[in-house]
Every structure is written in C-alpha cells, then in structure tokens.
Amino acid sequence: MSFNNIYFILVRPQMGENIGSVARAIKNFNMTKLRIVNPRCNWPNQKALATSVGAKDVLKSSKIYNSMEKSIGDLDIVFASTSRIRKINKKIISILSLKKKIKKKHKIGIMFGPESSGLSNEELSCADYLVKIPTSKNFSSLNLSHSVIIFCFQLFQQFSNKMTIYNSKYKSSVAKKSEINKFLKFIIDGLDKKGFLQPNHKRKSMIININNIFHRLNLSDQEIRILLGIFSTLNEFNKKS
C-alpha cells in the first residue's frame, strides 16, 4: 500500500489551528495528501500555517473543494470517521479492522467532519464504511487532529514495509566483567567495614544479591566510573563526618 494513495479529507473544518495540526499529524507518518471541503475559516489561514510547524508544504499542496462529491470523485474507497453510532444503513467497522478493507492499489479517502458536529448523515452516505475509534463509552468525542493521528498511526503501522529499529547514540562501550567485579569488590569491602553484611551466615547470600543487581544492569564504562566516583565521594564524606 503506497502512502501516496491515502487522502485525508476535512469536510467543513472550522478552525485553522486544527487544519494545521492535521497537516503536521499526517506528515509525521509519511503521508502528504490533504483535501479540504468548504473550510469555514478564512483560507489560506495563518493560524493553520503556524500550527503546522514543519508541515507547511502539506498545507500549501492541499486542495480545496466546494463539494464533498468532487473531493472523493477519483477515489476507489472512502472511509468516514465517526464517534457516534448512526441510524444509517452503513457498515460500521473498528479502526483496528481498517487493513482488511483496503486493497494494495486502492486510492483511499478518509473523511472527517467539522469539529462541533462531525459528518452529517448525508455526507456519511457517500462513504463505503463508517470507522469508529474505540474509546470510553462515557466520552467518545476526539479532537480532530487527535482522530487523524490515530488513523495515521494505524495505517503506518499496518502498511509500512520497513521494520523500525532504534539505535541509541550513546557511545560509551559496555563495561567488561573485570571492571564490574573491581567495582563490586570496592563496594563489598566498604560494606564489610561498615558492618552491613551481617550476620555472618547471611553474608554470602547478600553478596550474591549485590552481584546479581550490578551484573544485570548492563552498565557502560562511563557508568561504572560514575558509580565509583559516587561511592568514593560518599565514603570520604562519611569519614569527615
């Protein structure tokens, strides 16, 4: 599924800020196609540009339509987001089932209604499916951009061809076991001097537990040096006290 075949359609949006946030949301997930039907705020809109942050290109390439029918005319399948179960003869699916309804080369549209009321029944009648985001039964209304970003995440997760791997930029190498053991000897010697590892018959099990803690942590060279510095400083502080 190409993300270039996914079109987000905002029908009669009321606030420029929300349109800008929608543009930012879809760009976060590598989607760029935004269509706007009869915006009820002035257009172009400076507030939309401000809230889009790095997604101004999405706004500038968005298309404005004077009817919903024209905005979906070239699409193969249309989904309409709704927070309420409507009295309309239309299949309602969960957003979790979205992938099952999409074919590889489909051009798909996802419609969202105005912030205050959502899509009308007449507008919903043009969709193939109504899509509901599972939410609390006591409060199901979502902000427009929040609803959009949930759709984006779901589509990105289901149709992204690349497995995402995150590599840390932390550069300190993992501490060798000899360094960890040297640190543990320092700790245990200090605890012995303070009489912490008592009574004597429990000393062995206490040392095993201490070893388990620090060997399990996968500490780096730098972290071992920091820990040595901390305990050395505490030791010197206690001597002076």
Per-residue pLDDT of the chain (241 residues; tens, 9 = 90+): 789 999 999 999 999 999 999 999 999 999 999 999 999 998 989 999 999 999 999 999 999 999 999 999 999 999 999 988 777 888 999 999 998 999 888 999 999 999 888 999 999 999 999 999 999 988 988 999 999 999 999 999 988 877 777 777 777 788 999 999 999 999 999 999 889 999 999 999 999 999 999 999 889 999 999 999 998 888 887 777 6
- The pLDDT score that the predictor gives to residue 15 is 94
- The pLDDT score that the predictor gives to residue 241 is 64
- The pLDDT score that the predictor gives to residue 1 is 77
Neighbours of 80 (CB within 10 A): 26
Phi, psi of 8, deg, nearest 5: -95, 125
